[in-house]
Structure 1
Amino acid sequence: MLNSLNRRNIGIFAHIDAGKTTTTEQMLFKGGQIRSLGSVDTGTAQTDWLEVEKECGISVLAATTELIWRDTFINIVDTPGHVDFLSEVERSLRVMDGAILIISAVEGVQPQTEVIWHALRKLSIPTLIYINKLDRIGADPYRVIENIHAELSKSAIPIQNIQGIEDSFEGVSFWDGQEQVLEQPLIDQIIEVVSEHDDFILNQYLEGQLISEQLKEKLSLLSKGAEVFPILFGASNKGIGIQELMDAMIDYLPHPEGSQDAPLSGVVFKIDRDNKLGRLAYVRLYHGRIQNRDSIYNVTQGVEEKVSQIRKIQGHKSEDLGELHAGDIAALSGLSHVKVGDILGSDEGVPVHPHMAVPLLTVKVEWEQEEEYPAVVKALQELSDEDPLLDLQWHQEDRELHIKVMGKIQLEILASIIKSRFQLNVEFGQPSVIYKETPKQIGEGLIRYTMPKPCWAVLRFKIEPGERGSGVTYHSIVRKEDLLERYQNEVSRRIPEALEQGLYGWNVVDLKITLIEGEHHVVHTHPLDFAVATPMGIMNGLDQTGTKLLEPMLNFRISVPEQFAGKILHDLSQMRATFDSPNQQEDRMVVEGIIPLSTSMEYSIELASLTKGKGTITTYFQGYEECPEGVLATRERRGINPLDQSKYILSVRKALS
């Protein structure tokens, strides 16, 4: 039976084009998993097996693969680098015991790098930093290290000597801890970082008694504890530094914890489809074991289902394992109800779900033939199971479908996937920015739903603005003697639905709702009266408080030749951006700041045209902020507005009859 000490679960993360897939391909080759190297550019990479990935040359889905190195089984998850597919990265982070963060030696730390880094730190995932592309013109690893210390962590420390740079880059010297192969200044840096966590190491060094093996052992422990972060170097496209990186994965990243004898505990982090096996649920098991034909309980869905097969997937290839042990990752077939994020068995040992990806655009789905409507609905429901952030909105009365996305690249990929998998041609309407609403001030909402009989539900809510990003909090101070518990539970269940459409038609967020008065009638109250009354009471309260619009804001970084500086700064002012003083880097201007999504959606195209491709802009989500006076965005309301109480009651009661 495999010992958990001989296993690693490692995610490969990076900003787009830093070399994740190429690095993974080289690892598979070095580990003997593949006989010849594939290429991202030619569409032959092992982990880019979807047709759309081969065509576009980018990773769209997180791909799992396994290799053996130094008698250790290593599950590797190669994640997408484009910001539009951040949800795939988010789901992969949850199931990793260790990570490799790849940074280009030319571009250095980029916005997506920072987003991933902060998520890794939030989850305390031990991380190796791999500076790639040292053979490229413009590579400057020492500048990148300074960049890492300034933007990521001062506890990141190089553990290799670099032999040459750019055209003369030959490789790295790997420190095995047995002999002094590192230059003394680098040893001094390692001692300095390690001694911040261990006085014994510093004392041994000062007394001249510190041995190299002792230092490496302590560095390994600190790295596995996510307290320090070793930096390695290479040129993945040439296979330079790959073997040393794989050794570091064994030496500096931890093995999975968990007991096979404990009760079952696992999480579904990816859903896929197989022509023969149907729905496949990729599961990271934290405790217990699963065998073919086992029945397992899905805590999230509240159902029990039988596993038909347990398979290891390698691109288009797979094999039946028969059994899945604690600490391992595999795909389960037979679970027809399962969705991404579902907990199996219990949540014991399952990490929290990191929330990085926020869809900022909504689009209407359009199709060619009217009779294709049911098939399009089914296809999008399947895709929403695989990516819950699509948040499919199915308006049956209008026969309309709307989804939420991260950006326009994601729409192109979705259209391609729907075409290849479901043989359906779909198009998307013009993307609209997703705004939100929040109360302007404190107020109360009152509803006395007592006519037409039989009905009786009286509710009074206190509504207060919350801090930005606080979401929605709800509680009741009404005594159960005045309003039965089952009715109070119905009110609580209906609050999210009541907040889906505010005064301007957008979701209402960042508020505190308190039920301060409630009343039922022993004869006239219908079980669903409070389901009807809650939206009317909440909307009455929002009408009293008023709401203000919130818009999504992006952090941005623009780099352009200095002759375009004046024009760019003018454009940024026109787009309502706020930014720091520009930095001069050789013959280029770099400016960073915050900009509204609504004004900058097309700016990457304008920038490329203006600078003839020499200007770049990178962005990532910063948060929602209040719209300035004069900016108004409304969304058409679906259904009857609860503020029109008579019409709303008639509409709902017709549905209840």
Structure 2
Amino acid sequence: MTSSPAAGAEWARRRSFAIISHPDAGKTTLTETMLLTAGAIRLAGQVKARGESRRTSSDWMKIEQERGISVSASVMTFEHKGLLFNLLDTPGHEDFSEDTYRTLTAADSAIMVLDAAKGVEPRTLKLVEVCRLRDIPIVTFINKMDREALDPIELLEDIQEKLALDATPMQWPSGSGNRFRGVVDLHRDEFVVYQRPGEQRQAGEPTERVAMNGNSITEILTEEELDEVKEGAEVATELCPPFDQQAFLEGHRTPVFFGTALRDFGVRDMLDSMADFIPGPAPLEADVNGKASEIDPGGKEVAGFVFKVQANMDPNHRDRVAFLRLSSGKFRRGMKLKTDSGKQITVSAPVMFFAQDREIADEAFAGDVIGVPNHGTLRVGDSLSESGKIRFSGIPNFAPEILRRARLADPLKAKHLKKALESLAEEGVTQLFRPTIGGDFIVGAVGQLQIDVMRERVKAEYGLDVDFEPAPYDTARWLGGDDDKVEAFADRHKSAMAEDIGGDPVFLAKSAWEVSYSEEKFPDVRFHRAKERRG
């Protein structure tokens, strides 16, 4: 829940939400259509880029354009119904789950996109589990109703059974695929008419509505279709719990909308409803001068945390931008802020984002996401505040599932490779380990696609040809415990020891069995699957 906003408080207008889905459910198309609905763009789904083929505006990285997938989280700011929305578009591919996890730490709510023909898919399940860890309320959009779909009741039961979420339909669909006619607005007792491709309606304009009990409905639906949708709506109303704001905010209940993002249907209704019930910024737990505390969004001190770092958004300028989620205070351009480790930076050119496009931000408030250009000063997990005494919970690194050895075609460019790999590791694209013995870098990733992205970005942004060969290791563990015990273990296993980008000791194991064996033999050493990133 948000704290009570002061009258006219700017932070109370902010709504930061993420979009989550299984790959190919239509998340990026929904993002585009929302931007169009809010008047932020004029052409849905495709935006002309200079000298390039058309592409979606949130997928700005070259590999995303070529493969038609999202592998980097983008931030887009727009206004709608008097509110300022910060839309956080997360990667859909599971190989980029860490980037998605980090982005969700900056969101106050989420839209879950489901394919109407498939329901809840495995990737969706994992993402909802992450949302549940942070009690993030979820809005559901069942997409692709213009294609053959599962029965609506079956879709609602799928949400209930697989996600343990009570589903409340806000609308009820009439048919699917070629039989799709539109949806009943269950609260207004109106039918929202679906206009088929080619029918006249300006993109982004409100759709036609007719009263369910009026004469006009018979011009839209046949008697059989009308009876069917009325019966379905009655059954849904009886079987499903009514929408409850408190249950939604606590993450127990999800309002469900039906539509097709590609055909710009149902998106405006969902966005209008979101303006009414999704939460704004909430108090965040933090460590202040060594004591547990809550940072209120209405507080005076400017404070926030870095949840993402992106290098080379503009390849011509070799830039590094830290994505800072503001948690309290009124930020003004030119302010001096400190990390919780004492580093001071002057934020002289903060930016607001629209995918890769940016505007200088003269001021910002709790709930906003601003970009802070810097030269390696800020890293994922850093806390920033005016006093430097506020530390928010860190964002974890998770043990990689695959490890690869980086090999250059031209060994004389080793220093350039070091810089490139460190820069991308600080973004969180992959993890980087430097073995104690030997000069090769070991790169860790969740999946192969991360490695492919790294290879292409190193070539495109740094002009280096690099191969990522199989490494003689299977997994990595961060070491913890008494320093003497850790050093003793490291001395016994020098050939398997490395340092991560933060200089912390890492054990590179050949197998999960070797990790278990080491845990038994060295009970005083802790072998961590995750490492919390802090400043």
* TM-score above 0.5, yes or no: yes
The superposition leaves residues 488-528 of structure 1 with CA deviations (integer Å, 9 ceiling, x where unpaired) of xxxx34555655687696689xxxxxxxxxxxxxxxxxxxx
Q: Which residue of structure 1 lines up, in the alignment, with residue 270 of structure 2?
A: 245
- Aligned to 1:237, what secondary structure does the other structure show? coil
**Map of 2:205 onto structure 1:** none
CA apart distance, 1:108: 1.9
Residues 233 and 431 of structure 1: CA distance in aligned 2, closer, same or farther (over 3 Å) = farther
- Residue pairs, 1:15-26, within 5 angstroms: 15-26=22-33
Displacement of 1:306 in angstroms is: 1.3
Contact 1:170/1:240 (<8 A) preserved: no
Number of aligned residue pairs: 443
Where in structure 2 are the equivalents of 1:431-470 lying within 5 Å? 434-435=474-475
Instruction: Tell me what 2:234 maps to.
Output: 184
Give the Cα–Cα distance (whole angstroms) in 2 for the partners of residues 59 and 325 of structure 1.
28
2:450 is the counterpart of 1:410: yes
Who is 2:441 aligned against? 401
TM-score, reference length from structure 1: 0.61
| Counterpart in the other structure of 1:32 | 39
Match of 1:318 in 2: 358
Look up the match of 2:334: 293
Instruction: State how 1:424-573 maps to structure 2 within 5 Å.
Output: 424-430=464-470, 434-435=474-475, 474=481, 492-493=482-483, 495-496=485-486, 499=489, 550=512
2:118 to 107, 114, 122: 107
Are 1:149 and 2:137 an aligned pair? no
1:392 aligns with 2:392: no
**Which of residues 244, 249, 255 is equivalent to 1:230?**
255
| TM-score normalised by the chain length of structure 2 | 0.75
Match of residue 421, structure 1, among 454, 461, 470: 461
Select which of 153, 175, 178 maps to 1:167.
Answer: 178
The range that moved more, 133-142 or 375-384, is 133-142
Is residue 350–residue 360 contact of structure 2 (8 Å, CA) maintained in 1?
Answer: yes
Query: Structure 1's 237 and 419: CA in aligned 2 closer, same or farther, altered over 3 A?
Result: same
Tell me the residue number matched to 1:6: 13
* Inter-partner Cα distance in structure 1 for 2:236 and 2:53: 39
After superposition, give the CA deviation of every residue in 1:325-351 in whole Å (9 maximum; x if it has no partner): 122111112464100111112686946
Cα deviations across residues 198-233 of structure 1 (Å, max 9, x unaligned)? xxxxxxxxxxxxxxxxxx6xx233322323111221
Match of 1:220 in 2: 245
Residue 318 of structure 1 aligns to a residue in which SS? strand
- Residue 153 of structure 1 aligns with an amino acid whose one-letter code is A
| One-letter amino acid of the counterpart of residue 270, structure 2 | L
Question: What is the alpha-carbon distance in structure 2 between the residues aligned to residue 473 and residue 373 of structure 1?
Answer: 31
After superposition, residues 56-67 of structure 1 pair within 5 angstroms as: 56-67=67-78
Give the whole-Å Cα distance in 2 for the aligned partners of 1:343 and 1:497.
30
Which residue identity lines up with residue 222 of structure 1 in the other structure? A
Deviations 1:435-480 (A, max 9, x none): 469xxxxxxxxxxxxxxxxxxxxxxxxxxxxxxxxx9774xxxxxx
Instruction: Please provide the CA RMSD for this pair.
Output: 3.4
- Asked if structure 1 preserves the Cα contact closer than 8 Å seen for 2:110 and 2:138, the reply is yes
Query: Is 1:52 paired with 2:77?
Result: no
Larger Rg: 1
Q: Distance in 2 between matches of 1:177 and 1:222?
A: 22
Kindly state the Cα deviation for residue 423 of structure 1 after the two structures are TM-superposed.
1.5
How far apart are 1:551 and its partner, in Å?
A: 5.9
Q: Is 1:83 matched up with 2:94?
A: yes
Per-residue CA distance 1:514-548 (angstroms, 9 max, x = gap)? xxxxxxxxxxxxxxxxxxxxx9xxx9xxxxxxx99
Shift of 1:367: 1.2
SS in 1 for 2:470: coil
- Residues 260 and 266, structure 2, Cα contact 8 Å, conserved in 1: yes
- Residue 306 of structure 2 aligns to which amino acid in structure 1? V
1:265 Cα deviation after fit? 2.3
Distance 1:154 1:50, change over 3 A: closer
